[in-house]
Amino acid sequence: MMARGIPLLLCAAALLALSGCAANAAQDATPSPAGTPSAERPLIVCMGDSITAGYGVYTDDEKYSACLQELLGDSARVIAYGTPGETLLEASVYSSPALRAEADTVLLQFGTNDASPSLFRPDSFREAAETLLDTHIEALGAEHVAFLLPPCVYPAGGDIASFGMSAEKLSQVREILTQVCAEKSVAVVDLYSATCDHPEWFPDGVHPNADGNRAIAEAIYEALFSE
């Protein structure tokens, strides 16, 4: 396995404010205002489920990937590939456009959909996490990898949130991902801590709105790319 640390070559972006998300859509890799060709800037690829796809926001500019692009400015390109409903057990780079993206850094956002009581099996989930990090990420050829631990879910009552997600199972998901990433020397970003105590960011209990996506982007930036 290659080293999984996240470089500080993007720290120049620390001069940018952490507020707002400009109209730089995360799906686009446009030339910078300063004239730096897109191909010469480090490429960050976000892979994940409906949260990465932007379910819960109204425009592409509100996605966490677009907010991260704004925070990083001209120092990197950010693109996102999100598949609604995808579990970590189902995740495969071999069927993803990310395989052809030639990313420098990959951010993995999976686990929320695995927190269904009818689906979650700790041993199977751990094995899938190990496979994703050992085999699939090697196929991507990215030098740096980080895992975004699932954000909070907010049940309307009891343990089960909308879409059948269990808060208790999600806690187990985060615990296993933290352990596996530590074993594999993969950086993690704790999106739970970044989104807890903010049910107003999750109108349906599972998917973050624009404010929630902005908070997620800021947590990623602070954990991986700031000084």
Structural domain boundaries in the chain: 43-225
Residue 12 has pLDDT above 60, yes or no: no
Q: Output phi, psi for 54, to 5 deg.
A: 95, 20
Beta strands in the chain (DSSP E): 43-48, 77-82, 105-109, 144-149, 187-190
Residue 27 has pLDDT above 90, yes or no: no
Q: According to the model, what pLDDT value does residue 38 have? A: 62
Q: How confident is the model at residue 3 (pLDDT cuts 50, 70, 90)?
A: very low
Helix (H) or strand (E) holding 186: none
Helix (H) or strand (E) holding 215: helix 210-220
Residue range 104-162, pLDDT digits in tens? 999 999 999 999 999 999 999 999 999 989 887 788 888 899 999 999 999 988 899 99
Query: Who contacts 60 (Cβ-Cβ below 8 Å, separation ≥6)?
Result: 25, 26, 27, 54, 66
Q: According to the model, what pLDDT value does residue 110 have? A: 95
Question: Domain 43-225 has what CATH class?
Answer: alpha beta
Cα–Cα distance measured from residue 80 to residue 202, given in angstroms and rounded to the nearest whole number = 21
Q: According to the model, what pLDDT value does residue 37 have? A: 56
Per the model's pLDDT, the better-predicted residue between 37 and 112 turns out to be 112
pTM of this structure = 0.82
